[in-house]
A and B are shown apart, each in its own frame.
Chain A
Amino acid sequence: MKKYVHDLIVYDKQVLNDEYFLLELTYSEPLPDMLPAQFVEVLVENAPGVFLRRPISIHDVDYEKNTLKLLIQIVGEGTRRLSLLQTGDTVNLVYPLGNTFSMPEKPGILLVGGGCGMAPLLYTARYFRDFGFEPQILIGARSKRGLLLRDEYRKYGELLTCTEDGSHGTKGYVTDHPVFTSGKIDVIYACGPTPMLKAVGNWALTSNVHCEVSLENLMACGIGACLCCVQKTIAGNKTVCQEGPVFNIKEIVW
């Protein structure tokens, strides 16, 4: 897929809580095609401690409205600076980057997201829904306040939740959710912190279920040039930015 450098315009910004915000961006021309699990590299301006772009996964794309949404967690100076953007501001993106999830072959689709790893799953669910699938979407967080935009996710599939403190849905980690014993899972697509991906991946491997995970390694260029973000795989080190972020769990050497 062709990659672009574009100045997008902030169409809307929604502060979800003190940790998360949603940026909706538009462009003067039709946005390029984007796929689930792909990401953008955002230029952070006017932040003295920030040198590199920030990789942010694509949360949603609305081609009719010609907007792209990014669900961003404030984790440092770069994302904090981005949280100060206002409607009408310009944001420079390199995008769309990375590969995508494979198209499911069977109906039992489970999307699993932990923390900010829930971000790419909205567009993934929407995308699969457009192909006639009805995914289940399992989102885990520490507590209820981390389960964001639940009504949005419900538009594209059945939403399942779990929280570590039990404030919403099943109490515990995502792998504690009863969906894993439902016998209805044919394929899992997951994104989130590494311990969660390992746990979900191990379950899939022992249950002989196809599982793909989207990784979030630290990266610099985002386009496969610097080789900073590599993941060890059975076929050697692969770039998360270009050969990933999606890998079959069977490929990964943790």
Chain B
Amino acid sequence: MVNLKVDFNGLKLKNPVLTASGTFGYGEEFADFIDLNSLGGFIVKGTTLLPREGNNYPRMAETPSGMLNAVGLQNKGVNYFCEVIYPRIQHYSTAVIVNLSGSQISDYVQAAEMLNGLEHVPAIELNISCPNVKEGGMAFGTSCASAAAVVNEVRKVYKKHLMVKLSPNVTNIAEIARSVEAEGADSISLINTLLGMAIDVNTRRPKLSTITGGLSGPAVKPVAVRMVWQVFNAVNIPVCGLGGIMNAADAIEFMLAGATCVQVGTANFIDPMVSVKIVEGISEYCEKYGVKRVSELVGALQVN
């Protein structure tokens, strides 16, 4: 019997598989297909202080081995989450994590204070990496100073597990990771989507209303694995890896590169049961290779 439990810097997960924000709604959308309690956790849709309508349609374009999206953080705001969504999902016996985004530091702080009061939300994922909003979002995550500033302020009010989601759209991911670690982040998740673009050659128009958008899916996986490995080697806090995970082998690849846990994102659109299949697949892998505890895989990459 493989021990799938992981201790993610104090956040106890029953297994290393979470689902990524923006690909899993509020979890409920998948309840017909899987038992949510069999996941390590799920990260709900990007939430902001005030409601957001998001970007105009079209917001999505299929690309080779992936997709571009430009949803733009459509959500009903943190109040709505606390009052309407939270009562519906708080009973799940898995880590329910809220992804929090903002356009100014005070937005993050106010919303984080409210989320700090939710008993059954043990962690937030601070999104300083959304490429699809005009102000804030990725702007915070692409310089060390602004990343540090937002983490510093949120850390003052958020007392539980603070995970910070980094943008891959930077020249030196390790520096950004170190700067958020220095401000008290409990963990780091990466990568958010890669900034991309697609053009309809028949109409000569962009395929997204916002012209550029975030690329996800297997197309980004090698970039994500590389960045997880770089961050793992740069910081002492644990890493949650994501980017194009489609199956258990992909998830294990991230763990070997240094991820303590992983998030399954775009794959949920192709197979709504994939997250649970990945939990099972990791267990089978461990049995096959005589791995007693899944945490033994973390950073177990052999380079010699």
Residues of A whose CB lies within 8 Å of any CB of B are 2-5, 43, 49-53, 94, 217-232, 236-237, 242
Contacts and interface: CB of A to CB of B under 8 A. Distances in A.
A230 B32 contact: no
Given A217-B57, A218-B60, A227 B74 contact: yes
B89 to A, nearest CB: 14
B217 to A, nearest CB: 6
Contacts of A43: 270-271
A50 B65 CA distance: 7
Given A5-B271, A219-B60, A228 B29 contact: no
Contacts of A50: 62
Interface residues of B, number: 33
Contacts of A217: 57-58
26 contacts: A2-B32, A5-B33, A5-B271, A43-B270, A49-B64, A51-B63, A51-B65, A51-B66, A52-B62, A52-B67, A52-B269, A94-B272, A218-B61, A219-B60, A221-B29, A222-B269, A223-B25, A225-B29, A225-B30, A225-B268, A225-B269, A227-B74, A229-B60, A237-B53, A237-B74, A242-B29
Contacts of B64: 49, 51
Given A218-B60, A226-B60, A51 B268 contact: no
A51 B67 contact: yes
- 4 pairs of A and B residues whose beta carbons are closest in the complex: A228-B60, A225-B25, A221-B269, A3-B32
Contacts of A3: 32-33
A211 to B, nearest CB: 21
B79 interface: no
B235 interface: no
Contacts of B66: 51
Contacts of A232: 56-57
Contacts, number: 87
B237 to A, nearest CB: 29
B54 interface: yes
Contacts of B30: 223, 225
B22 interface: yes
A177 B243 CA distance: 52
A51 B217 contact: yes
B254 interface: no
A2 B30 CA distance: 11
B60 A220 contact: yes
B178 to A, nearest CB: 33
Interface string B26-56: 0001101100000000000100000001101
Contacts of A220: 60, 67, 69, 269
Contacts of B29: 221, 223-225, 242
Contacts of A230: 54, 57, 59, 74
Contacts of A223: 25, 29-30, 272
Contacts of B67: 51-52, 220
B74 A226 contact: no
B71 interface: yes
B53 A226 contact: no
A179 to B, nearest CB: 31
Given A51-B63, A221-B23, A227-B74, 12 more contacts: A5-B273, A51-B66, A51-B67, A51-B217, A53-B270, A223-B29, A223-B272, A225-B23, A226-B71, A229-B57, A229-B59, A230-B57
